[in-house]
């Protein structure tokens, strides 16, 4: 996978320097905005000024900078920009890329007077990239990174054949956090029930943690305002930070929770013994859901937050971006019983169980079962419909008896290495995940 950052370029790039020198080839590569332009409707995920002043050979210019003053937006109304970007994308493919991540693609096309997000022209450019790649490198997959409300996010599937093959499942991190804080599967299960795929060649890119924070925009149409405020307060209480965005009316609202995911699942000193179990349950949900799981380095190795990084850099996102010393990491992993070793061992067990069963295929089937508010239950089936796994996840600190599921014959628990006899009452320990495989004889 390569990151195709095609919405903007660096303010230090040769392209932008040539633009400031007014070189003919780059004259319209960026967006100089006249002072009288009405930009009040523009939607963006930052509180920094939308326009940044730069000196040029033609005098000072106000340049469009959606994300920060050092990231200058490209002008796609100039066909030469589009052609140069297509050349770059094809160069990535020529150098071995089989997956291209379209960074911040939602903001690509600019039209003063509009929101400048998800415009039809943006979707047309994604469709053009897909058409080009389908023609010359049909094995290449596009994945769109759009940290926006869920319904807007999935619009980048297009009709299932003409835009991205994968979309980031941005609603998943805050919904899993909410479910574990509340001990309730209600909102998460309702949302997961609607995760349809538009075609056999499209799927979700599921993740919980990343180098950025936990976005709140994706759940604004899924969680009540009071529940979002609960997430904000809870993250601050756990030593995290909250980044804001500026709204068209000039006000600000919480945009992103900046906290390490393991730290986010702390429930207080009296419950610290459950923290690793709670964290691993979250990872089990990630791995059980239909789609392709993306596992952040710091989650795989059980890292905690890095508050010193925030103090040193002034950037809230630094809390989850610590660079580790390899020798120190290896020493911790070699120590039996250490937090890092415990989490890695459990993660490897889950990954092995998942990789060994086609019911977890990213294009397989998924059905959400209602078995009680404290349990998230998923029925996963292989694309051929010849393998099935019942995935049960206890979201609370108390044992849960699973109701509404009839085990008609013996099943094999992939995570706990044990048979589950037919018709036996299913009991889940606190924060336990059980993946129960049907047709155990065929799967070994």
Mean pLDDT of 134-146: 96
Q: What is the CATH number of the domain that holds 253?
A: 3.20.20.80
Which of 339, 360, 381 is where one domain is finished? 360
Predicted TM-score (pTM) above 0.85: yes
Average pLDDT over residues 86-96: 97
Q: What pLDDT score was predicted for residue 440? A: 43
Q: Burial of 42 by CB count in 10 Å (0-12 exposed, 13-18 middle, 19+ buried)? A: buried
Domain boundary among 325, 360, 395: 360
Instruction: Give the number of domains in the chain.
Output: 3
What average pLDDT does range 340-363 have in this prediction? 96
Check if the beta carbon of residue 199 is closer than 8 Å to that of residue 160. yes
Residues 226 and 83 in one domain: yes
> In terms of domains, do 69 and 87 share one?
no
Shared domain for 257 and 398, answered yes or no, is no
The whole-angstrom separation of Cα 271 and Cα 155 is 40
- d(C-alpha 60, C-alpha 55), whole Å: 4
| pLDDT over 50 (residue 444) | no
Write down how long the chain is: 444
Question: How does DSSP classify residue 416?
Answer: T
Amino acid 35: pLDDT: 87
CA pair distance 292, 307, nearest whole angstrom: 30
Whether residue 87 has pLDDT greater than 70: yes
* Whole-angstrom distance, CA of residue 37 vs CA of residue 435: 57
Kindly state whether residues 307 and 257 are assigned to the same domain. Answer: yes
Residue 424: predicted pLDDT: 64
Kindly state the average pLDDT of the residues 136-156. 94
Determine which one of 28, 103, 373, 439 is catalytic. 103
Q: What are the two backbone dihedrals, phi and then psi, of residue 385, each rounded to the nearest 5 degrees? A: 65, 30
Q: What pLDDT score was predicted for residue 426?
A: 83
Same domain, 175 and 209: yes
Q: In terms of residue numbers, what domain contains 246?
A: 79-360
Q: Which segment of 85-94, 119-128, 243-252, 293-302 scores lowest on mean pLDDT? A: 243-252
More confidently predicted of 245 and 224? 224
Q: Is the pLDDT of residue 442 over 50?
A: no
- Check if 103 is active-site: yes
Asked which of 36-45, 139-148, 345-354 is least confident by mean pLDDT, the reply is 36-45
Whether 236 and 265 map to the same domain: the answer is yes
CB 388 within 8 A of CB 424: no
Query: What is the overall mean pLDDT for the chain?
Result: 93
> What is the rounded CA–CA span in Å between residue 156 and residue 108?
13
> What does 322-384 look like in DSSP terms, one character per residue?
PPPPHHHHHHHHHSTT-HHHHHHHHHHHHHHHHHT-GGG-TTSEEEEE-S-TTEEEEEEE-TT
Compute the average pLDDT of residues 283-304: 97
Say what the pLDDT of residue 407 is. 58
- Rounded mean pLDDT, 390-403: 92
Residue that wins the pLDDT comparison between 257 and 424:
257
**CA dihedral over 22, 28, 30, 31, signed as positive or negative:** positive
Say whether both 402 and 276 belong to one domain.
Answer: no
Q: Which residue has the higher pLDDT, 7 or 252?
A: 7
Residue 422 has pLDDT above 90, yes or no: no
Q: What gap in Å lies between CA 296 and CA 149, rounded to an integer?
A: 22
The percentage of residues in the chain with a pLDDT greater than 90, rounded to a whole number, is: 84
The secondary structure of residue 205, as a DSSP letter, is: E
Residue 258: helix, strand or coil by DSSP? strand
Report DSSP state, residue 424.
Answer: P
* Distance (Å) of CA 65 to CA 41, 47, 52, 162, 316: 15, 12, 6, 29, 20
| Same domain? 59 vs 207 | no
Write the CATH number for 66. 3.90.400.10
Provide the pLDDT confidence category of residue 404 given band limits of 50, 70 and 90.
low
- Average pLDDT on 380-400 reads 94
> Do both 341 and 369 map to the same domain?
no
Let me know how many helices (H) and strands (E) the chain has, helices first.
14, 21
Burial class (CB within 10 angstroms; exposed 0-12, middle 13-18, buried 19+) of 139: exposed
- Whichever domain contains 420, its CATH number is 2.60.40.1180
Last residue of a domain, one of 360, 375, 393: 360
Say if residue 268 is in the same domain as residue 390: no
Of residues 220, 190, 213, 179, the one with CA closest to residue 394: 179
Q: Please tell me the distance from the alpha carbon of residue 354 to that of residue 283, in angstroms, as a whole number.
A: 12
Q: Which residues, including other chains, have CB under 8 Å from residue 76's CB and lie 6 or more apart?
A: 82, 108, 109, 110, 121, 125
Residue matched to tokens 């906290």:
259
Residues 108 and 238 in one domain: yes
pLDDT band, residue 415 (cuts 50/70/90): very high
Which residues touch 40 (CB under 8 Å, ≥6 apart)?
248, 249
Over residues 14-28, mean pLDDT: 96
Residue carrying the six token digits 């292989």? 382
Residues 377 and 286 in one domain: no
Coil, strand, or helix at residue 93?
helix
pLDDT of residue 443: 44
């Amino acid at each position: 996978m390569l990151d195709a950052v095609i919405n903007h370029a660096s303010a230090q790039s040769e392209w932008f320097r040539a633009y400031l020198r007014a070189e003919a080839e780059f004259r319209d590569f960026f967006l100089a905005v006249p002072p009288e332009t009405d930009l009040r409707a523009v939607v963006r995920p930052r509180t920094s000024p939308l326009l940044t002043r730069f000196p040029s050979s033609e005098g000072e210019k106000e340049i469009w900078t959606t994300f920060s003053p050092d990231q200058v937006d490209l002008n796609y109304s100039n066909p030469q920009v589009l052609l140069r970007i297509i050349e770059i994308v094809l160069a990535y493919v020529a150098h071995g890329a089989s997956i291209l991540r379209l960074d911040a693609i939602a903001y690509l096309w600019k039209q003063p007077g509009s929101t400048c997000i998800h415009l039809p022209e943006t979707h047309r450019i994604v469709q053009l990239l897909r058409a080009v790649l389908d023609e010359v490198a049909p094995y290449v997959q596009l994945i769109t990174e759009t940290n926006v409300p869920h319904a807007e996010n999935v619009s980048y599937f297009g009709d299932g054949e003409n835009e991205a093959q994968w979309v980031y499942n941005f609603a998943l991190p805050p919904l899993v956090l909410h479910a574990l804080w509340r001990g309730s599967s209600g909102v998460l299960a309702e949302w997961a029930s609607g995760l349809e795929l538009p075609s056999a060649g499209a799927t979700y890119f599921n993740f919980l943690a990343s180098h950025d924070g936990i976005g709140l925009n994706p759940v604004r149409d899924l969680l009540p305002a009071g529940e979002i405020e609960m997430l904000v307060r809870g993250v601050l209480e756990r030593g995290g930070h909250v980044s804001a965005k500026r709204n068209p009316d000039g006000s600000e609202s919480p945009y992103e929770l900046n906290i390490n995911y393991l730290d986010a699942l702390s429930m207080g000193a009296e419950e610290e013994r459950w923290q690793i179990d709670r964290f691993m349950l979250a990872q089990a949900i990630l791995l059980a859901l239909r789609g392709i799981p993306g596992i952040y380095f710091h989650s795989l190795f059980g890292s905690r937050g890095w508050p010193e990084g925030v103090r040193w850099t002034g950037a809230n996102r630094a809390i989850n971006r610590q660079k580790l010393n390899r020798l120190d990491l290896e020493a911790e992993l070699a120590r039996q019983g250490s937090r890092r070793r415990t989490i890695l061992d459990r993660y490897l067990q889950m990954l092995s169980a998942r990789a060994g069963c086609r019911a977890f295929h990213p294009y397989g089937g998924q059905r959400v079962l209602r078995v009680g508010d404290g349990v998230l239950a998923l029925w996963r089936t292989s694309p051929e419909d010849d393998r099935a796994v019942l995935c049960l996840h206890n979201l609370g600190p108390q044992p849960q008896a699973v109701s509404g599921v009839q085990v008609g014959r013996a099943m094999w628990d992939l995570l706990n290495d044990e048979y589950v006899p037919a018709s036996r009452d299913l009991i889940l320990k606190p924060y336990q995940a059980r993946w129960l495989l049907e047709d155990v004889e065929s799967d070994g």
